[in-house]
Structure formats: C-alpha cells, structure tokens
Amino acid sequence: MDREEESENSLHTIAIILLCCGAVKMLHLLGVITVEKADDDLEMTMVCHRPEGLDQLEAQTNFSKRELQVLYRGFKNFQECPSGVVNEDTFKQIYSQFFPHGASTYAHYLFNAFDTGHTGSIKFEDFVTALSILLRGSVTEKLQWTFNLYDINRDGYINKEEMTDIVRAIYDMMGKYTYPVLKTDAPKQHVDAFFQKMDKNKDGVVTLDEFLLSCQEDENIMRSLQLFENVI
C-alpha cells in the first residue's frame, strides 16, 4: 500500500469512527449510557410529537423496550422545552459540545443523514433508527448509512464534489489535530485517492455497490465498524 492510499484509508476510517463515536458521545452527553434503571412505561409528554409505540419501534430496531425507554428519556433532554423533535441548530449545538472545533459543517451533513424524511427536524424515530444501524446494524447496513451520508444530493452516487465537501468538513473538525502540517491541496489528494480506490469502473462516480465492495476489502474500515457495538 503506497502513502497516498494509506492516507486515504486513514481519513475514511476516521470518518466512520466519527459517525459511531459521535453517536456514543451523544448518548453519554444525554446520560443514556450511565442510566441503569428505567420506568416501566415510556413517558408520552411531548407537545408536538409523540413517538411510535414501543412494540413497533422494538420491531424496527435492534433495541429492547427498556433500552428504548432510556433512549427516549435522553432524547427529551435535547431541548430545554422538549417538543419531540430536534431542529438543525439544536443538533449543531449539541454536536459542538464534544467536537468544538469546526463541527458545524460536518454536523449539517450528519443531521441530513438522520433526517431521512427531509422535514428539517429529527424525530425520536429517526434518531433511534439511525442509532440502531450505527451501533448494532450489520456491516452492510452501516456502510449503506455511511454511503447515504456521503451522497449529499441523494442521487445514488458519490461524486467528487460531494466527497470534497465531506473531506473538507472532516478537516475543519479534525484536520489540524490529525494532520498538524496540512497542505492546501490535501483534501483534493484524499478525494483523488478515494476515487482511485472506490471508482472501480472509472466513470467518475462511486455507486453503492462499489462503495460496499471497497470498504469490505479494507481491514481498518471493518474494524472501525465494530468498535461501538456494545456501548448500551
């Protein structure tokens, strides 16, 4: 493996770890991971939105009823006056608490990945479904979710412009700590390396199948997907 490919693999692994680590730190911030007991019934005190029933959410996710109760209680703490949904500004404020250096752009893309209905807000169902995938989903499910994060315009492909936006967002948040001597063309180099590896047919875009195949061939990426499977 040459230096350019190794550098690209490192950044891509960091991106996946940021996803899972961000989810775990968010749980810690909300007190979810440290909570040991939960009431028997899920509280339904929201004004604007009530989550789906426990049975339905349990069937749709990899969490038990008790875990869903704890997650819901933490989710309500997203806002001082919880309305049952989280908007992008609130999401960015929360994310900046554990990634304080330039996290706004990355949080924007992450918010859009959570907001699967494109409503401009994240409901509890959106939050817990994504969390279920990131923490306990299969390898394919986790990689599909990551692909959707990179596919900013949701057209089923990752193009160089989208990947450049993601890479720059990662640099804004982590670059000066991960790469102390940062060249101005470093994001372009990483994007070029990404496409050299992922774009199997060299047509200028990366499909989901290409993304899945390339990631599953990378041991570092596979290990990073397993780091946070038992945090709850």
Residue 126 sits in a domain whose CATH number is 1.10.238.10
Whether 167 is covered by a domain: the verdict is: yes
> Which pLDDT score, from 0 to 100, does residue 176 have?
57
Token pair in block for residue 6:
């190794």
Residue 206, helix vs strand vs coil: strand
> Which pLDDT score, from 0 to 100, does residue 42 have?
42
Whether 227 is covered by a domain: the verdict is: no
For β-strands 205-207 and 85-87, DSSP reports them as unpaired
User: Domain range for residue 211?
Assistant: 3-36+53-222
More confident of the two residues 39 and 193: 193
Whether 110 is covered by a domain: the verdict is: yes
> Which pLDDT score, from 0 to 100, does residue 38 have?
39
CA–CA separation, 231 and 203 (whole Å): 40
- Rounded to the nearest angstrom, the gap between the alpha carbon of residue 99 and the centroid of all alpha carbons in its chain is 13
pLDDT tens-digit map of 51-96: 557 889 999 999 999 888 888 877 776 554 456 688 898 888 877 7
Whether 87 is covered by a domain: the verdict is: yes
> Which pLDDT score, from 0 to 100, does residue 211 have?
93
| Rounded average pLDDT over 151-170 | 92
> Which pLDDT score, from 0 to 100, does residue 41 have?
42
> Which pLDDT score, from 0 to 100, does residue 195 have?
92
| Rounded average pLDDT over 215-231 | 78
Whether the Cβ atoms of residue 43 and residue 54 lie closer than 8 Å to each other? no
Token pair in block for residue 203:
């047509």
Domains held by the chain: number: 1
Percentage of the chain beyond pLDDT 70 is 64
Res. 103: pLDDT tops 50? yes
Whether 178 is covered by a domain: the verdict is: yes
> Which pLDDT score, from 0 to 100, does residue 94 have?
76
| Rounded average pLDDT over 180-199 | 77
pTM: 0.76
Whether the Cβ atoms of residue 196 and residue 5 lie closer than 8 Å to each other? yes
Q: Which helix (H) or strand (E) holds 142?
A: helix 139-150
Sole residue written with tokens 């001082």: 80
| Rounded average pLDDT over 145-154 | 92
Whether 104 is covered by a domain: the verdict is: yes
Whether 48 is covered by a domain: the verdict is: no
Mean pLDDT of the chain: 75
Res. 46: pLDDT tops 50? no
CA–CA separation, 139 and 118 (whole Å): 25
Whether 7 is covered by a domain: the verdict is: yes
Token pair in block for residue 157:
């492909």
